[in-house]
């Protein structure tokens, strides 16, 4: 069983756009955070780039949501590993055969190469090996074509999740949608797992099981985490560390949400709030929240003009996701 890490996919384009260093990435090429401080550093780097390019405060990423998204990625891997161990050890070998029979050897091979090129492993990104070399070998006894299929499912799930819209230019799969049989392959994978043993308390095929938290609460990463804790407890409890991190992550997202709600309230009432200072509890520290906008001069006891402290604006509510032509989970 794999140990707990926290990651999510970042495309080659997103990595280059934000000039993200190798230390942010695992060997699979997913963005990985050893702790919350590393996630804060990652978010700060992304937000500095967005501010420099003129992006609005509403388009900044929130650290707790980045952490939660990376943890959800690890949850998906853990659920898949339990499924393989308990029910269907050869699932991805059979899935690869299913896809190759449907699309042919050449088309399947070229598609996997394009996917791995878009979401590169660390060794490929560094130039230590080619895409073809990676796909031809194994990692820890597992064929890398099987690893690519598992990562493909997770990339699709992350792009189906409206709660991750502020990470869109980091995880975007549009190049695959436009230039490969990506949607058709995802549909084929869903069709394959519909022929395999169902899993979880929902008794669903694997890909539909992984999609369930998103379908239940599409716009809230907090509610998706809650779904995992409540519905997948029998699975997640097999990793006490992962379960503990899920509960901690829910607290982070909840508290960060309160913080930004106060900023949004201040922003919405500039006339009433300029000189009013509220206290907010945020990750265990007290912060003064001051309205955005002009602030009247106050005076100290000596009659000197003193302005109240400013706090920079934080990101506002998520923007709506664009409507990509993603694969629909409908049986043919």
- H/E stretch holding 252: helix 240-268
Residue 123's pLDDT is 81
- Is residue 22 over pLDDT 90? no
Higher pLDDT, 322 or 158: 158
What is the percent of the chain where pLDDT is above 90? Answer: 42
Residue 199's DSSP bridge partners are 204
Residue 314's pLDDT is 39
Q: What is the DSSP annotation of 89-127?
A: TTHHHHHHHHHHHHH-HHHHHHHHHHHHHHS--HHHHTT
Instruction: Assign 43 a pLDDT band (cuts: 50, 70, 90).
Output: confident
- Report field, pTM of the whole predicted structure over 0.75: no
- Asked whether the beta carbons of 212 and 202 are under 8 A apart, the reply is yes
Burial of 90: CB neighbours in 10 Å, binned 0-12, 13-18, 19+: exposed
Residue 31's DSSP bridge partners are 8, 25
Alpha-carbon dihedral of residues 138, 140, 141, 147, nearest 10 degrees? -60
In 3D space, the residue among 191, 200, 170 whose CA is nearest the CA of residue 328 turns out to be 191
Burial of 62: CB neighbours in 10 Å, binned 0-12, 13-18, 19+: buried
What tens digit of pLDDT does each residue of 142-175 get? Answer: 999 999 999 999 999 999 999 988 888 888 899 9
- Is residue 84 over pLDDT 70? yes
- Asked whether the beta carbons of 118 and 11 are under 8 A apart, the reply is yes
pLDDT averaged over every residue in the chain: 76
C-alpha triplet 30, 111, 132: angle, nearest 5°? 70
- Is residue 187 over pLDDT 90? yes
Choice among 102-106, 136-140, 187-191, 295-299 with the minimum mean pLDDT: 295-299
Cα(141)–Cα(273) distance, integer angstroms? 61
- Asked whether the beta carbons of 152 and 115 are under 8 A apart, the reply is yes
Please state the rounded mean pLDDT for residues 60-69: 80
Quote helix, strand, coil % in the chain, to nearest 5. 55, 10, 35
What tens digit of pLDDT does each residue of 195-253 get? Answer: 999 999 999 999 999 999 999 999 998 899 999 999 999 999 998 888 888 888 787 77
- Is residue 272 over pLDDT 70? no
- Asked whether the beta carbons of 326 and 177 are under 8 A apart, the reply is yes
Could you give the 3-state DSSP secondary structure of residue 313? coil
Cα(261)–Cα(218) distance, integer angstroms? 20
Residue 138's pLDDT is 93
- H/E stretch holding 7: strand 7-9
User: What Å distances lie between residue 190 and 184, 187, 211, CA to CA?
Assistant: 10, 5, 11
Please count the helices (runs of H) and the strands (runs of E) in the chain.
15, 8
- Is residue 273 over pLDDT 60? no
């Amino acid at each position: 069983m794999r140990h707990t890490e926290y990651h999510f996919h970042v495309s080659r384009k997103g990595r280059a756009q934000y000039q993200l260093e190798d230390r942010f990435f695992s060997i699979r090429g997913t963005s990985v955070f050893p702790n919350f401080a590393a996630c804060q550093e990652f978010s700060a780097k992304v937000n500095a780039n967005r501010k420099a390019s003129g992006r609005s405060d509403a388009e900044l990423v929130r650290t707790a949501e980045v952490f939660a998204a990376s943890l959800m990625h690890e949850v998906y891997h853990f659920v898949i590993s339990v499924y393989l161990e308990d029910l269907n050890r050869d699932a991805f070998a059979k899935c690869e055969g299913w896809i190759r029979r449907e699309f042919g050897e050449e088309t399947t091979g070229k598609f996997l190469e394009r996917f791995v090129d878009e979401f590169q492993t660390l060794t490929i990104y560094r130039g230590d090996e080619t895409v073809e070399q990676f796909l031809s070998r194994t990692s820890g006894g597992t064929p890398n074509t099987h690893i690519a299929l598992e990562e493909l499912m997770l990339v699709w799930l992350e792009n189906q999740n409206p709660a991750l819209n502020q990470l869109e230019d980091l995880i975007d799969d549009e190049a695959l949608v436009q230039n490969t049989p990506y949607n058709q392959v995802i549909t084929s994978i869903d069709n394959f797992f519909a022929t395999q043993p169902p899993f979880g308390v929902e008794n669903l095929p694997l890909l539909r099981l992984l999609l369930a938290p998103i379908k239940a609460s599409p716009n809230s990463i907090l509610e998706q985490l809650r779904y995992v804790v409540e519905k997948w407890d029998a699975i997640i409890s097999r990793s006490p560390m992962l379960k503990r991190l899920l509960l901690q992550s829910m607290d982070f997202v909840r508290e960060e949400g309160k913080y930004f709600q106060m900023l949004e309230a201040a922003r919405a009432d500039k006339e009433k709030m300029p000189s009013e200072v509220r206290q907010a509890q945020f990750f265990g520290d007290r912060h003064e929240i001051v309205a955005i906008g002009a602030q009247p001069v106050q005076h100290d006891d000596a009659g000197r003009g003193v302005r109240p402290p400013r706090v920079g604006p934080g990101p506002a509510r998520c923007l709506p996701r664009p409507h990509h032509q993603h694969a629909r989970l409908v049986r043919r």
